Structure 1
Amino acid sequence: MEKQPITHIPFDTLEAFMADALKGIGVPEADAKICAEILIASDKRGIDSHGIGRLKPIYYDRIKLGIQHPVTEFEIIKDTFTTAVIDGHDGMGHVIAKKAMQMAIDKAKVYGMGMTVVRNSTHYGFAGYYPLMAIENNMIGMTGTNARPSIAPTFGVENMLGTNPITVGVPSDEPFPFVLDCATSVSQRGKIEVYDRENKDLPEGWVIDRQGNSRTDTKQVLIDLVKGEAALTPLGGIGEDTGGYKGYGYATFVEILSSALQSGAFLKGLLGFDQNGNAQPYHLGHFFIAINIENFTEIDDFKKITGNILRDLRGSDKMPGQERIYTAGEKEYDVWLDRKDKGAPMNDALIKDILDIKAELGLEQYHFSFEK
């Protein structure tokens, strides 16, 4: 299969464009900048499933459809010294999540730990952004979110659970922190969307059909995930032999913390459709945890020990034929070093989205290198 040509857009230009696009459909300027900042942070780290590729289908189109509110109402339902419950009223998930994580951090500064939970939110971008906020404050950060159903339980074929990431971030004395940001499924919808944009078949074992057979037909899989005719496999894979029950269990844990703690929607209540098949808000739930390291030990000692652990792991004996062992966050740092002077890579599908938005909103102040 012929590889598509790739062009690049400078990060500053792309971030400004995304902010203006969101402003153009009613998102207040300050909120639009928050959303664009989080989206571009994903592209900078090479998490192409959650950056510019999500602007049009996940945010822009949903606002136009009326199932996501461009103006965010951030309501604090319950507040204690160390915890808070928040209702996002189906506003911009990035805005809701950044404020909720900041609340957890502020509580941890005073009391050592802070945790906030959110109901009635929307997709909040790449989850790793929020632990990075904690890391900037010399804290450990954690977050999780539920999502529209896509994972089948072990020995099941019906998509019941979202990709439900458990995401953690830990500061170290290295140029990059330890950040583990991954779904509780073998893969996730955003990565399948990347494969679709690149016209690639899926690897075996990512998706199953209603008979439990593996599927690789990318474009139809995206359609059938919505229809319930396909499901993602939990982390560990199909069945129990390779530990699929572990991913299933973790996904369930995230579902509970993302719904039961704040009396929010769960499982099939997150489909985005009402009983008559009409589109409706997704009503997602999130949780955020900040742990103040200095309430336990000296920050420099913590960072040094963490760095030593990571360096010892990378320096351990390698499998034959392998040149390098990685620790979480290292590959993203390498991508940033490679992309920081080039910008974000664009393929034909992304270019079309950008040009469609530009034409629709009349954003003529932008002229991209791929335009004739």
Structure 2
Amino acid sequence: MLGTNPIAVAIPSDEEDPFLLDMATTTAARGKLGVYKRRNKKLPEGWVIDEEGMPITGAQAATDLLADPTRELGGQVYLGGSKEEMGGHKGYGMGLLVELLCAPLSMGSWTRDVFQTPDANVSHFFSAFRLDLFGDAAPIKTYVGDILRALRTSTPLKDEERVYTHGQKEAARRKMALEKGVELDDATLSMLENFAQEFGLSPLKEW
């Protein structure tokens, strides 16, 4: 009945790579399931459960379940899993919080009803804080940077390369993509070629 209900937060700092958190409140984003399906990879247990609460590890079976409009049980699992003792109620609470900030304030559809109408009527919630209302913005950004630097230079667990903060890995991948391009698997390339043909665009192979 609820969706992946993502949260995205950006906090400026004096670091080149600021704090950038962009996450689904479910264990995995919906798009991640599509990636596993295209690559014919097995899903980790705990991403999706069936109508009886059992884990689904087949990507095709998982996406079929999620696409079924008559489904009443089963679906993607929120952060913490499906059991309260592992903190599943916290992930569920985060997902519900996003739902309540979006749909009621906009008087739009909540997830259960999004696909019941042709226009979907999806709602979003945006909030911004003016740093100067809390004081001089520069020392605030420096303080944020100090926290990030302390975490990034802290001692990692054994066999781990380093400690990251949110957005660092994505920034590194973006830099690599700008330098070397984006590598596409055959299934994704085929899908894009089909889109190009459908909408009368130049095929990627001609670029």
Assess same fold via TM > 0.5: yes
Deviations 1:1-40 (A, max 9, x none): xxxxxxxxxxxxxxxxxxxxxxxxxxxxxxxxxxxxxxxx
Q: Does 1:273 align with 2:111?
A: no
Q: TM-score, normalised by structure 1?
A: 0.52
From 88, 96, 102, give the equivalent of 1:252. 96
Residue 337 of structure 1, CA deviation = 2.0
What is the aligned partner in structure 1 of residue 87 from structure 2?
243
What is the aligned partner in structure 1 of residue 60 from structure 2?
219
CA 1:297–1:360 in 2, change beyond 3 Å: closer, same or farther?
Answer: same
Residue 325 of structure 1, CA deviation = 0.6
Paired residues of 2:9 and 2:22 also in contact (CA < 8 A)? yes
Paired residues of 1:259 and 1:265 also in contact (CA < 8 A)? yes
Instruction: Name the CA distance, whole Å, in 2 between partners of 1:335 and 1:250.
Output: 28
Identity of aligned residues (%): 39
Q: Report the secondary structure of 1:161's partner residue.
A: coil
Instruction: Name the CA distance, whole Å, in 2 between partners of 1:361 and 1:322.
Output: 45
Paired residues of 1:164 and 1:251 also in contact (CA < 8 A)? yes
Deviations 1:293-341 (A, max 9, x none): 1221222211111111011112223212212111011111111121111
Q: Does 1:344 align with 2:182?
A: yes
One-letter amino acid matched to 1:351: L
Equivalent runs, 1:43-192 vs 2, <5 Å:
160-192=1-33
CA RMSD of aligned residues (A): 1.7
Q: Does 1:206 align with 2:47?
A: yes
What runs of 5+ residues in structure 2 fail to find an aligned partner?
none
What is the aligned partner in structure 1 of residue 107 from structure 2?
263
What is the aligned partner in structure 1 of residue 196 from structure 2?
358
Q: Report the secondary structure of 1:190's partner residue.
A: helix
One-letter amino acid matched to 1:259: A
Deviations 1:193-234 (A, max 9, x none): 011111101001111111111110101110111222640111
One-letter amino acid matched to 1:368: K
Instruction: Name the CA distance, whole Å, in 1 between partners of 2:2 and 2:200.
Output: 40
One-letter amino acid matched to 2:197: A
One-letter amino acid matched to 1:243: G
**How many residue pairs end up in the alignment?**
204
One-letter amino acid matched to 1:172: S
Deviations 1:248-299 (A, max 9, x none): 00111111111111222114211x135xxxxx23211101111111221222
Instruction: Name the CA distance, whole Å, in 1 between partners of 2:201 and 2:111.
Output: 39
Deviations 1:161-192 (A, max 9, x none): 11111211001111111011101111121110
Q: Report the secondary structure of 2:125's partner residue.
A: strand
Paired residues of 2:193 and 2:204 also in contact (CA < 8 A)? no
Q: Does 1:298 align with 2:136?
A: yes
One-letter amino acid matched to 2:128: A
What is the aligned partner in structure 2 of residue 39 from structure 1?
none
One-letter amino acid matched to 2:61: Q
One-letter amino acid matched to 1:268: R
Paired residues of 2:27 and 2:80 also in contact (CA < 8 A)? yes
Paired residues of 1:221 and 1:230 also in contact (CA < 8 A)? no
Q: Does 1:324 align with 2:167?
A: no
One-letter amino acid matched to 2:14: D
What runs of 5+ residues in structure 1 fail to find an aligned partner?
1-159, 275-279
Instruction: Name the CA distance, whole Å, in 2 between partners of 1:368 and 1:323.
Output: 37
Q: Report the secondary structure of 1:235's partner residue.
A: coil
Instruction: Name the CA distance, whole Å, in 1 between partners of 2:43 and 2:150.
Output: 34
Q: TM-score, normalised by structure 2?
A: 0.92
- Bigger relative contact order, structure 1 or 2, given CA contacts below 8 A and separation 6+? 1
